Amino acid sequence: MTTGQDPAQLFGPPPTSATQQQLFTGGSVLQTRTGVAAAADAWSVGAMNLDLDDLAVDLLEASMRRPGPQPDHAPGRHASALMMAGRYADALAVLPAGLVLPDPGSDDLQRDHLVQATCRAALGDDGALLWLRQAAPLISATDWAGYIAHCLLRVGDARGDLELAGASLAQLQRLGDRGRRVVPRMAADVVASRPRSAPAGRAGRGRLWGSNRDHPAAVAVREAADRLRLATDLLHGPSESFVSDPGLVLETAERLRQGGDPQGAALLLHAVDRTNPHVRRVEEALATYVPPGAYGRRRLRRALLLTLAGIAFLVSGLTGHPMVAVVAALVVGGVEIFAREPGLDRFGTNVLAEYAEKAGIRPFWLLPRSVADETPVAGTRRRSPLVLGVVALALGAVVFPGAWDAAAEHGTGTSWLTSPGLTSFLVWVVLFPVLVTWAVSLLPGRRLGYVVPRLSAAQTDCQCRRFTGLSGPFAFAYAAGHLTPLATPPELEPALRRFSPLPPSVSGCPMTGAAWLVLILGPENGRLLLRSPIGTFPDPEERPDDSLPTGQYL
């Protein structure tokens, strides 16, 4: 059999003409009701993996309205999704009738039994809870380990059993679960377990011959900063970028506040705010933990310090007394070093400084480590502190000889530490550039984003066969640069309309015909993309109605 087409064209460069392009373009999966149901079914699985349980239930129920008979496992899967969403009575109602719990070690144990026991235990059945406790050690050695941990977590939440919920969360963390439902709870537990103050009494005394780093207070600060770093790394897993998806950080901070740890919530928000570009919702949440007027008082304090320092440097240069500027610089540095961060105590301020140091944030640069994906390919660093610091260094080098001569007119000094040359060099070549750099770094708008090189590929290459889900900055760029918006199928509009904070939309790939569900996480342009199956799904042929006789005259 021959097609009359050069076989080399199948593996050569992409065709250019519209006619040839159709050889490589698949039909849309949304052309038929069966295809819409298949897309909703795949999106439901993706939403379940992301712990978006309510959306997963709505999509699954939409997919069950497909033409033709339902699969045999459809009721059990529906019940499992309802149980994960916390709708325990509804889940029991859709389970097969006559379902009886087997022995916990029986080979006949199925998912429907776990769903039934979980729903009954969550509704107050102590016998079902005992059955789950007996079955959990046996199931935890199988592929269902994560599922039974989620079941017990929901039972613990429903019954208010903090010990059971905590053990289930610990098990999910050991299993590497990074779903959006459990990660904020894990991060909150990690932050809450940090040291909250320096050791007191004899435990807080350091050795006279030991280094400052080995002092018990310094060790406690480093340990607390490490716990904070672990929490933010956990949150970065499902979020990828706190700029486009700050919701998990805000949920973690709220959990800390409700758990009686407002300092932990403020510390987490301060850490995210300092190491990322400006995020409005994070700043608004942080403002609730800061005393009224604290930021204004800090700006006033810094303005007064800079004004006094400028006057001191001017007096030092005109009168030839460099020690005036040295003393002023020491006062400015001492006040800033011992000042507290608004909303934090002294220990929390030290922890935040240690965290920022480990993140690569130096006091003068304050540059972020994540991307500003509101403008994915246009992020830039703010270089003005460094540039003006170099300009101040050059200006200080020009002023230095004259300042040295003016200082020498007042004498040579009692020692080399107070000699005119050394003090003038310290003032104009060291302290003056440092002060200018610090002052410029305090200007608003200093924290912008990095350029993300990999986003350019999202606007040119089709990645639809490679990924079934995308998140973070790449998802935003891929949706904007490659996918085209599609009309939402009427069968899915009720399910998508109920999702918050913003209703999802549907986009399609012009190359493969795959449909992507685009979930908008908030006003920061965060995106989650879930792909449908690739290909077309024809509807089954409708059978004729057998109630009417055929082949005869009516």
pLDDT at position 455, please?
56
pLDDT of 516 > 90? The answer is yes
Cα–Cα distance, 486 to 219 (Å, whole number): 56
Which of 449, 447, 483, 457 has its CA nearest to residue 375?
A: 449
The answer to whether 371 and 524 have CB atoms below 8 angstroms apart is no
pLDDT at position 5, please?
47
pTM of the model: 0.75
Per-residue confidence band for 213, with pLDDT thresholds at 50, 70 and 90: low
pLDDT at position 543, please?
61
Reported as type and span, the H/E element at residue 438 is: helix 432-441
pLDDT (mean) for 472-476: 80
pLDDT (mean) for 301-308: 90
Q: Reduce the secondary structure of 342-386 to three states and give it as a string.
A: CCCCHHHHHHHHHHHHHCCCCCCCCCCCCCCCCCCCCCCCCCHHH
Q: Residue 517: beta bridge partners?
A: 506, 530
pLDDT (mean) for 497-517: 86
Q: Which amino acid is at 431?
A: L
Lowest mean pLDDT among 1-10, 154-163, 280-289, 425-434: 1-10
pLDDT of 17 > 90? The answer is no
CA 420 to each of CA 74, 400, 463: distance values in angstroms, whole numbers, following the listed order: 87, 11, 67
Q: Copy the structure tokens of residue 279.
A: 């995020």
pLDDT (mean) for 64-76: 83
The answer to whether 363 and 438 have CB atoms below 8 angstroms apart is yes
pLDDT of 446 > 70? The answer is no
Which of 195, 187, 193, 194 has its CA nearest to residue 251?
A: 187
pLDDT of 200 > 90? The answer is no
pLDDT of 428 > 50? The answer is yes
pLDDT (mean) for 294-323: 88
Lowest mean pLDDT among 228-237, 488-497, 517-526: 517-526
pLDDT (mean) for 447-468: 63
pLDDT at position 545, please?
53
H helices of 179-215, in order, are: 183-192
Cα–Cα distance, 47 to 181 (Å, whole number): 11
Cα–Cα distance, 13 to 35 (Å, whole number): 30
pLDDT of 6 > 60? The answer is no
Q: Residue 507: beta bridge partners?
A: 485, 516
The answer to whether 475 and 528 have CB atoms below 8 angstroms apart is yes
Most confident of 143-157, 262-276, 329-343, 380-394: 143-157
Cα–Cα distance, 390 to 401 (Å, whole number): 18
Q: Which sequence spans correspond to the domains of the chain?
A: 20-49+465-538, 50-197+215-289, 291-341
pLDDT of 228 > 70? The answer is yes
Name every residue whose Cβ is closer than 8 Å to that of residue 529 and which is 6 or more positions away in sequence. Answer: 467, 469, 470, 471, 475, 478, 479, 516, 517, 518, 519
pLDDT (mean) for 296-313: 90
Per-residue confidence band for 267, with pLDDT thresholds at 50, 70 and 90: very high
Helices (H) and strands (E) in the chain, counts: 22, 5
pLDDT of 506 > 90? The answer is yes
pLDDT of 400 > 50? The answer is yes
Q: Copy the structure tokens of residue 508.
A: 């399609």
Lowest mean pLDDT among 199-203, 286-290, 456-460: 456-460
The answer to whether 474 and 459 have CB atoms below 8 angstroms apart is no
For residue 507, the SS3 value is strand
Cα–Cα distance, 382 to 46 (Å, whole number): 38
pLDDT of 336 > 80? The answer is yes
pLDDT of 459 > 50? The answer is yes
pLDDT (mean) for 147-168: 93
**Mean model confidence pLDDT for the chain:** 81
The answer to whether 171 and 177 have CB atoms below 8 angstroms apart is no
CA 300 to each of CA 289, 294, 479: distance values in angstroms, whole numbers, following the listed order: 20, 10, 45
Share of the chain above pLDDT 90, in %: 32
Question: What is the tens place of the pLDDT at every residue in 107-143?
Answer: 888 999 999 999 999 999 999 999 999 999 989 888 8
Q: Taking the CA of residue 494 as centre, how many other CA atoms within 13 Å lie in the half-sphere pointing to its CB?
A: 7
Per-residue confidence band for 365, with pLDDT thresholds at 50, 70 and 90: very low
pLDDT of 448 > 60? The answer is no
Q: Identify which has the larger pLDDT, 279 or 78.
A: 78
Cα–Cα distance, 516 to 513 (Å, whole number): 10
pLDDT of 522 > 90? The answer is no
pLDDT at position 7, please?
46
Per-residue confidence band for 12, with pLDDT thresholds at 50, 70 and 90: very low
Cα–Cα distance, 341 to 349 (Å, whole number): 6
Per-residue confidence band for 262, with pLDDT thresholds at 50, 70 and 90: very high
For residue 500, the SS3 value is coil
Question: What is the tens place of the pLDDT at every residue in 176-195?
Answer: 888 888 999 999 999 999 99
pLDDT (mean) for 160-175: 91
For residue 468, the SS3 value is coil
Q: Identify which has the larger pLDDT, 381 or 482.
A: 482
pLDDT at position 68, please?
77
pLDDT (mean) for 436-462: 61
Q: Identify which has the larger pLDDT, 542 or 406.
A: 406
Burial class for 2, CB neighbours closer than 10 Å (0-12, 13-18, 19+):
exposed
